[in-house]
Amino acid sequence: MKPLTIRHDPVPAEAALRKRGTFVRNMLRQKYLYLMSVPFVIWLIVFSYVPLWGWLMAFQTYKPGRGILDQRWVGLNNFRELFTDDRFYLVLRNTLGMSVMGLVAGFTIPILFALLLNEIRGSFFKRSIQTISYLPHFVSWVVVAGLVTKMLSMDGGALNQLLMALHLIDEPVQFLAKGTWFWGIVTASDVWKETGWNSIIYLAAMAGIDPEMYEAATVDGAGRFKRMWHITLPGIRPTFMVLLILSIGNLISIGFEKQFLLGNKLVIDYSEVLDLYALNYGINLSRYSYGTAIGIFNSVVSIILVLTANGIYKRVTKETII
């Protein structure tokens, strides 16, 4: 009869020490990577976590000149005022409308552009197109807004001149005075400025796809469009989903530069967004607590949107980015 062998597993303390030793060795082996990340960690703490102390202002009637803990506390009064203001819901509509339009156009057009650019075989022509398409990203929104305003101007604007030459209109149209057109103008301007830059990451993802997959598909008789549909697009899906989920988190934090520079009093009911609302009704009127409450609302909703989008993605694909 075979003798009974009893295996003694290491006690938890020994296992913990062994695990800790492995962790320390990995840290020492990758010490230069940790050192390189220190400046970014410091930047994150200083500019992202330290300012959270200022969130206390949202629960006070903040007056400059006194310490943040010496203010008069008002509880949730600023949030009650925010959610009972009809103007808040108007600017929330504008923010979501322009965000959704920018999200759809800002993903589909760069992906299509990257797909077409990836099919170009002439290296010189490809580099030239890439350089030209990247340049608008480095142009300030002040300059872009000036160009857009000039192009849409009634007095010699290029678009009005073109439409009149084609006999599509009889007289110049004041494009920037029509509120219902403002969202489309902002979205088109943003697409023109950022398409080339946003396509870079998709081109990088396409470069990582195994060329043998394309060769095998070609041997099997797949044409160019079938290769793009069945190989290229699935190959960049992880990259696309990560960027999409992160962009969903910024749906209501779209800034205010475009709207501030292209907007005017005639279209203010369509151009004012949450960040501009916080500037106008918070900082400009010295209502710092009210502006802080708007910022907290933006942050909380952004976190909820990211977690929700990631949860849906995880449930559908069994994968997660968080």
pLDDT score for 11: 52
Report CA 39 to chain centroid distance, whole Å.
23
Strand partners of residue 201: none
34 & 170 share domain: no
| DSSP output for 50-97 | GGGGGGGGGGEE--TTS-GGGSEE-TTHHHHHHHT-HHHHHHHHHHHH
C-alpha to C-alpha distance for 69 and 60, rounded to whole angstroms? 9
36 & 128 share domain: no
Structure tokens belonging to residue 9: 């597993």
Query: Residue 137 contacts by C-beta under 8 Å, 6 or more apart in sequence?
Result: 193, 194, 196, 197
pLDDT more than 70, % of the chain = 93
| Any domain includes 79 | no
pLDDT digits 0-9 by tens, 35-92: 888 999 999 899 888 888 888 889 988 888 777 777 888 989 999 999 999 999 999 9
38 & 129 share domain: no
Please tell me whether residue 3 adopts helix, strand or coil conformation: coil
Domain count within the chain:
2
Q: Report the chain's terminal Cα–Cα distance, integer Å.
A: 54
E-only strand ranges, 189-291: none
Please give the residue range of the domain that contains residue 22: 11-43
Of 107-116, 130-139, 281-290, the poorest mean pLDDT is in 281-290
110 & 33 share domain: no
223 & 311 share domain: yes
Q: Is 72 left (phi over 0), alpha (psi -120 to 50) or beta?
A: beta
Strand partners of residue 72: 61
